[in-house]
Amino acid sequence: MRQDRIDLYKELEAKRKSKLLVYATSHRQGMETSIAPDVLPWFTEHLDIIEESEKISLYIITNGGDTLTAWSLVNLIRSFCDKFEVIIPFNCFSSGTLISLGADSLLMTKQATLGPIDPSTNGPFNPVVNGTNQRIPVSVEFVKAYIEMAKNEFGIHKQENMTEILLKLSDKIHPLALGQVYRSRQQIQMLAKKLMSWQKLSSKKEEKIINFLCSESGSHDYAIRRKEARDSLGLNIEKPDQDTYNVIKAIYDNISSELEFSNPYNPEIILGGNPTANYCCRRCIIESVNGGTDVLVSEGVLTKHIIPTPAGDKLMIQDGRIFEGWRHEA
């Protein structure tokens, strides 16, 4: 599969007159992967091979992740080129959108989507799901919407009433988690503004884009397609010609097949009728023409156990993870 992609990468580089970096995080159900700081050393290796270039294109597929990594990645790539382009074949949400704001221009297919950049915080002070150790992410914009609802929908403006509302909120969400929410909101607005300076937009247009991406879109799942990104938000968007589109789509189809985007990870199916089964899931790739492939891999052994209970036998599947990390493939 990689060799097929390399030929396509070379073709896309020729069409875009640039050096190409490819970054795909898996949105395969059950094996979802996010943008995270551990990718930065691997990108550095690829960029050292590419060396300084007039233009670098980042081909990206992601549902998002860490916002500071997005900021660091843009600055890292820009230290190796004069012009930075982002190519979006499909989904590029959350921190992926933040990366896109730091490009001089965006090449978007008809399927491509950006999304809001309102973050969710997750830390040791977040609320816990009852009966589990699982912590619930706290949406920055949901907290803001709760306060605005009290003011705008219910007409609560008196200081003592607002204090009571905040106290009720802090009963459910630890005050330190709420503080992190406020800090995250400020941080992402600051990062978005800094990154958009490369697009050379007016201050008024920058403010409009940040407001929409941070709150006015109404939902973190809101999909922003090419026309809206160009005409309503005013981002520097380019539409690929048919030949370029065919290459971009062929790359996406190849990566989708390798990372199994459309094949949910289901341990019962992997086991079938067997008591044990090995699995290997490729969850993230970073590639370039001459830099090889860096892949995030999860490997393990699934073991089926039948546990007798008063209500009848219960199936339990144990996931014995043997390896979780990055591998380089020449």
Q: Which residue has the tokens 């816990």?
A: 128
The pLDDT value given to residue 219: 59
Cα dist. 203→195, 206, 292 in Å?
Answer: 13, 5, 41
Q: Do residues 325 and 300 touch, judged by C-beta distance below 8 A? A: no
The pLDDT value given to residue 217: 57
Q: Do residues 138 and 126 touch, judged by C-beta distance below 8 A? A: yes
What's the chain's length in residues? 330
pTM over 0.95: no
For residue 255, what are its two tokens? 């990566």
Average pLDDT of adjacent 10-residue blocks, the chain of 330 residues:
91 98 97 95 97 96 92 97 97 94 96 84 65 64 72 77 76 71 76 87 86 69 90 92 98 97 95 94 97 97 89 87 94
Q: Give the start-end residues of each E strand in the chain.
A: 19-25, 53-61, 81-88, 105-108, 113-114, 120-121, 138-139, 224-225, 237-238, 276-288, 292-307, 314-329
The pLDDT value given to residue 133: 65
Q: Do residues 213 and 117 touch, judged by C-beta distance below 8 A? A: yes
Dist CA 197 CA 78 (whole Å): 13
Residues 6+ apart with CB under 8 A from 175: none
Domains and CATH numbers, the chain: 2-115+223-329 (3.90.226), 120-182 (no CATH)
Dist CA 243 CA 168 (whole Å): 57
The pLDDT value given to residue 318: 93
The pLDDT value given to residue 180: 67
Tell me the β-bridge partners of 320.
Answer: 301
Where helices occur in 117-174 by DSSP H, the ranges are 140-148, 159-172
Q: Which residue has the tokens 């607005």?
A: 189
